[in-house]
């Protein structure tokens, strides 16, 4: 007979002997000073290698007509089924979306759903709940003093007149898109439509942001003519370039090749060094010879990572000489490293061309799809620097 133990994973601001964990959350882009924007109760009943979780979501912000609650499992946990919500998992990231009958949440209204899962090791509670992409646990309000300080920092420590995102080092190009005044990206950024202009669009979005109140929204469409990018030459430093940006998207990376970041390489006949996805995982692609990093073998793809859905992800990369390194949420991705020493299934194909030493002249964010694959993406808090920046 299986013995069950009932326990509660509590994530609160103080330890309490309660059966429900309450997460108090407010978004960086709203900075509520009164009631938290959302509250999440997370109650578990677990046994050896299995558990059932009951989740209660309370919306204290503006009414919503649909909701998606996301979190990241800290351990080896796997969702096996759910009820009263569409609960899916990609890697450690879980997304619970409303069903047709429970999408409307008025201010102060709550909804409950549940799921069953399996785990190995410890069944620790998630701590990064987010409602419709808005981060939880950020309760520090923005004040006029902070805004003034940020503006001063922009003038004295960056190479751009734009209001900088957090963690902007001296001498870097930093842009959180806060100074964009229209819906079409302008200023330090220009729109480009490789090949031909189609249905892909890039707009300034004031409804979704990682920090501040604005981001760039890309409506990416499949097909040769639908490529769209916004680009800048600010901060580019030839063969010694580091970049950091935050990205959020709505559709899993497809099997086919897609690109969401590109840089022109003047040392490779002006061809692009491209970051995107293939086989549902992040990858680098060299336009001139279509070499990929990692190799698109099962072992190679397994050493990369998918791009999490419906939540902001910090992506960093560095190109120094012939070395290319990549970090996601502060952790280096083994399959996205070319360090000059050939590693099977990772950079063996990449290094077959001797003497690769890129000189990058611009930086572009957007969407290219070379097969099937529409996606909607948001980009925010871009930093281009001569040294690694890190996540804010």
Would you say residue 253 has pLDDT above 50? yes
Would you say residue 355 has pLDDT above 60? yes
Average pLDDT of span 224-249: 90
**Residue 63 to residues 58, 71, 139, 155: CA-CA distances in angstroms?**
11, 21, 20, 38
For the chain, the maximum distance between any two Cα atoms, rounded to a whole number of angstroms, is: 69
Confidence of residue 199 (pLDDT cuts 50, 70, 90): very high
Confidence of residue 3 (pLDDT cuts 50, 70, 90): very low
Would you say residue 288 has pLDDT above 60? yes
Q: What is the DSSP code string of 22-77?
A: EEEE--TTT--SSS-SEEEEEEEEEETTEEEEEEEEEE-SS-BSS-EEEEE-SSEE
Cβ–Cβ < 8 Å for 325, 297: no
| pLDDT given at position 139 | 45
**Residue 138 to residues 72, 141, 294, 344: CA-CA distances in angstroms?**
17, 8, 36, 42
Cβ–Cβ < 8 Å for 118, 47: no
**Four-way CATH pick for 173-385: 3.30.1450.10, 2.60.120.200, 2.40.50.140, 3.40.50.1820:** 2.60.120.200
Average pLDDT of span 248-271: 94
What's the rounded Cα separation, in Å, for the pair 346 and 4? 43
Lowest mean pLDDT among 21-25, 176-180, 295-299, 375-379: 21-25
Tens digits of per-residue pLDDT, 132-186? 877 665 444 333 333 333 333 333 333 344 455 656 787 899 999 999 999 999 9
Tens digits of per-residue pLDDT, 176-192? 999 999 999 999 999 99
User: Can you list the alpha helix ranges (DSSP code H) found in the chain?
Assistant: 144-157, 298-302
Average pLDDT of span 186-199: 90
Tens digits of per-residue pLDDT, 78-93? 999 988 999 998 888 8
Nearest to 242 by CA among 40, 88, 37, 386: 386
| pLDDT given at position 230 | 95
Average pLDDT of span 24-37: 43
What's the rounded Cα separation, in Å, for the pair 358 and 324? 10
| pLDDT given at position 203 | 96
| pLDDT given at position 137 | 58
Nearest to 115 by CA among 54, 62, 47: 54
| pLDDT given at position 225 | 86
Residues of the chain with CATH 2.60.40.290: 38-135
Tens digits of per-residue pLDDT, 206-232? 999 999 999 999 999 998 889 999 999
Helices H, strands E: what count in the chain?
A: 2, 26
Lowest mean pLDDT among 120-129, 179-188, 197-206: 120-129
Would you say residue 14 has pLDDT above 80? no
**Four-way CATH pick for 38-135: 2.60.40.290, 3.40.50.2300, 3.20.20.70, 3.30.420.40:** 2.60.40.290
Tens digits of per-residue pLDDT, 50-59? 999 998 888 8
Percent of the residues in the chain that have a pLDDT greater than 70, as a whole number? 82
| pLDDT given at position 167 | 62
What's the rounded Cα separation, in Å, for the pair 263 and 247? 17
Q: Return the beta strands (E) in 60-170 as ranges.
A: 68-72, 76-83, 86-90, 93-97, 110-120, 130-131, 134-135
Would you say residue 31 has pLDDT above 70? no
Residues of the chain with CATH 2.60.120.200: 173-385
- Per DSSP bridges, beta strands 363-369 and 331-332 are unpaired
Average pLDDT of span 272-289: 96
Confidence of residue 364 (pLDDT cuts 50, 70, 90): very high
| pLDDT given at position 109 | 87
């Amino acid at each position: 007979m299986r013995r069950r133990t009932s326990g509660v994973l509590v994530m609160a601001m103080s330890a309490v002997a309660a059966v429900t964990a309450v997460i108090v959350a407010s978004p960086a882009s709203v900075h509520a000073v009164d009631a938290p924007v959302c509250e999440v109760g997370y109650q578990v009943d677990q046994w050896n290698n299995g558990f059932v979780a009951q989740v209660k979501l309370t919306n204290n912000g503006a009414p919503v007509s649909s909701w998606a609650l996301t979190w990241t499992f800290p351990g080896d946990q796997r969702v096996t089924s759910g009820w009263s919500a569409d609960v899916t998992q990609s890697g450690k990231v879980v997304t619970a979306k409303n069903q047709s009958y429970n999408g409307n949440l008025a201010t102060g209204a709550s909804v409950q759903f549940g799921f069953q899962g399996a785990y190995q090791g410890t069944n620790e509670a998630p701590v990064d709940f987010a409602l419709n992409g808005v981060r939880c646990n950020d309760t520090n309000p923005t004040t006029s003093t902070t805004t003034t300080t940020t503006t001063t920092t922009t003038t004295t420590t960056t190479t751009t007149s734009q209001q900088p995102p957090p963690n902007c080092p001296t001498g870097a190009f930093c842009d959180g898109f806060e100074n964009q005044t229209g819906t079409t990206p302008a200023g330090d950024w220009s729109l480009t439509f490789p090949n031909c202009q189609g249905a892909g669009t890039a707009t300034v979005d004031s409804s979704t942001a990682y920090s501040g109140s604005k981001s760039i929204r890309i409506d990416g469409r499949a097909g040769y003519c639908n490529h769209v990018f916004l680009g800048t030459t600010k901060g580019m430093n030839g063969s010694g370039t580091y970049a950091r940006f935050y990205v959020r998207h709505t559709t899993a990376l497809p099997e086919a090749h897609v690109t969401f970041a590109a840089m022109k390489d003047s040392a490779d006949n002006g061809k692009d060094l491209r970051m995107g996805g293939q086989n549902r995982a992040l990858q680098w692609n060299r336009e001139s010879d279509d070499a990929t990093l990692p190799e698109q073998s099962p072992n190679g793809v397994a050493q990369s990572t998918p791009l999490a859905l419906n939540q902001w992800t910090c992506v960093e990369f560095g190109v120094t000489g012939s070395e290319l390194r990549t970090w996601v949420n502060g952790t280096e991705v083994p399959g996205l490293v070319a360090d000059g020493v050939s590693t099977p299934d990772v950079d063996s194909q990449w290094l077959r061309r001797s003497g690769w030493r890129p000189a990058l002249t611009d930086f572009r964010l957007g969407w290219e799809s070379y097969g099937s694959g529409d996606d909607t993406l948001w980009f925010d808090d871009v930093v281009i620097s001569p040294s690694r920046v890190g996540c804010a």
